[in-house]
Structure 1
Amino acid sequence: MAKKNHKSEQGEGNGRELPNLAPGIGNRIKLAAERIGSRRSAANEAGVSEDMLYRYIREQGAPSFSAMAGLARASGIRLEWLATGEDAQEEGKALSDAGGGNLADEYALIPRYDIHVSAGHGSAVYEENEVQRMAFRRDWLRREGFAPDQLALVTTKGDSMEPTIGDGDLVLVDTSRNEVRDDSIYVLQVDGDVFAKRLQRDWEGGVWVRSDNPQYQDQHITAESYRQLKIVGRVVWIGRRV
């Protein structure tokens, strides 16, 4: 049911913003890249291209939270120092009394892929490239029972799951939950097309594939066909622009 999906709220999901980026951030990012070993490796850790990392170093662009957190984690430099130049530089050193731990330890970076999952008639998948990483609070993930390394973010396309999921919404998929056990929304792959649909088991071992939009007809999959169905995972969070 729709209430089982978790909508984005402040303090949950991708939450807190970085402090204001202080002058000299380019030099601090350069130092982090040198500690990581190479600019290519640093760019990979930040989830950006080498060209974009170079722009950060020259202070020609503002890095995202995900990029800064990735650099901080890989270099052993505290995220607050990397962003502002204030407080202690090294990981593990005391944080001022306003805090509560290191931000890189508070947040898990979840990969987003350039896949458009159909909430309509199906979208073909030709390749799966990671394009970004987004930060989710670790305490929220633990509370919900999600393992960060089993999660992925993809974008939906189409209107068949409206009003629950709209065209262009971002969904978090738990790939460890690939067995249909309740009335939930799953990402499934059929003949190269990827869909987001609500799945319900029947008494004979088959599955009903349902759309939340009443303009779309339900479809039934037999028990034999269900055994060959590839379920990528269950949708556990939905994020959208307002």
Structure 2
Amino acid sequence: MEDLEEDQAIRDRLSAAIAKTGAKQVADRTGIPLGTLNKYLAKSSGASFANVVKIAEATGTDLGSLAGSNSKFGKIAVGMEGTSSARHDIVRLPRFDARASAGRGLVPVNDMPIGEVAFGRDFLRNLGANPEYCYILEARGDSMWPTIPDGALLIADASKTEVDDGRIYHFNVMDRALVKRARWSLDGKLYLTSDNTAAGYPPEEFTADRIDELRVGGRIMFTGHAPMPLR
């Protein structure tokens, strides 16, 4: 019952924020389809955390207020407003378009962020991440389903560029940005693999002669998404 009440409260606040700015303007600013925004406006559909972030930015609404301090999203998001001590305990992570590439193991300066999201430093540290090196990407596609569904908000740590077997990373291969699980073979080959084996995504193999094509943006430390439907 409590979860339903929290979900309804988020829908109410989303609807009010969209109505204040106008669904058409929010669609233009966020890239969220107008039909989806109209469902949020009518409170007939809940939003993913990624879309809550986009709507907060597009409407000039405080993310913490929009998500709600007691909701499942509010436990992740940290409001932009607060006391000076609260501000000291938060870090604003740059949010990049999913097509952002990485160079030398870091997000390059020529790929400008499209926004910022505030998170608690302790929250990031508890994930094992370095708050000063974290950034945000939005997942695209179903290659990592069910671990990472389409539209999930990802926190990556650019200080973690040593590729460990079995972990998920933001990789860049030439001009392609990928979120894949790393697998090492006994003969030293690196395979970028997808979790959605049923869809038939083949692993990509990297041997010594291809290593210059590969850059590591950072290790994926957190995946935020709305509850997934049954498939």
CA distance in 2, matches of 1:212, 1:232: 19
CA positional deviation for 1:116: 4.3
Say if 2:122 is the partner of 1:139: yes
Contact conserved, 1:116 with 1:157, CA < 8 A, in 2?
no
CA distance in 2, matches of 1:143, 1:190: 30
CA positional deviation for 1:207: 0.4
Say if 2:140 is the partner of 1:167: no
Could you say which residue in structure 1 is the equivalent of 2:137?
Answer: 154
CA distance in 1, matches of 2:60, 2:154: 27
Q: 1:178 is matched by which residue type in structure 2?
A: T
Contact conserved, 1:112 with 1:132, CA < 8 A, in 2?
yes
CA positional deviation for 1:226: 3.0
Q: 1:134 is matched by which residue type in structure 2?
A: V
CA distance in 1, matches of 2:122, 2:61: 27
The structure with more strand, counted as a fraction of residues: 1
CA distance in 1, matches of 2:96, 2:137: 6
**Structure 1 residues 61 and 145 mapped into 2: Cα distance closer, same or farther (>3 Å)?**
closer
Say if 2:215 is the partner of 1:230: yes
TM-score by length of 1: 0.54
The structure with more helix, counted as a fraction of residues: 2
RMSD over equivalenced CA pairs, Å: 3.2
Q: How does 1:13-52 map to 2 (within 5 A)?
A: none
Say if 2:205 is the partner of 1:194: no
TM-score by length of 2: 0.56
Could you say which residue in structure 2 is the equivalent of 1:103?
Answer: 86
Gap runs ≥5 in structure 1: 1-51, 54-59, 73-78, 81-90, 92-101, 119-124
CA distance in 2, matches of 1:196, 1:236: 12
CA positional deviation for 1:149: 1.9
Contact conserved, 2:142 with 2:150, CA < 8 A, in 1?
yes
Aligned length: 151
Instruction: Tell me which moved more, 169-178 or 199-208.
Output: 199-208
* Amino-acid identity (%): 29
CA positional deviation for 1:117: 7.2
Say if 2:194 is the partner of 1:217: no
Contact conserved, 2:174 with 2:214, CA < 8 A, in 1?
no
CA distance in 1, matches of 2:79, 2:168: 33
CA positional deviation for 1:181: 1.7
Gap runs ≥5 in structure 2: 1-55, 65-76, 102-107
Q: 1:133 is matched by which residue type in structure 2?
A: E
Higher radius of gyration, 1 or 2? 1
Contact conserved, 2:127 with 2:221, CA < 8 A, in 1?
no
CA positional deviation for 1:158: 0.7
Say if 2:210 is the partner of 1:241: no
Q: 2:136 is matched by which residue type in structure 1?
A: L
Contact conserved, 2:171 with 2:216, CA < 8 A, in 1?
yes
CA distance in 1, matches of 2:152, 2:91: 21
Aligned counterpart for 2:163 among listed residues 164, 168, 180: 180
CA positional deviation for 1:228: 4.2
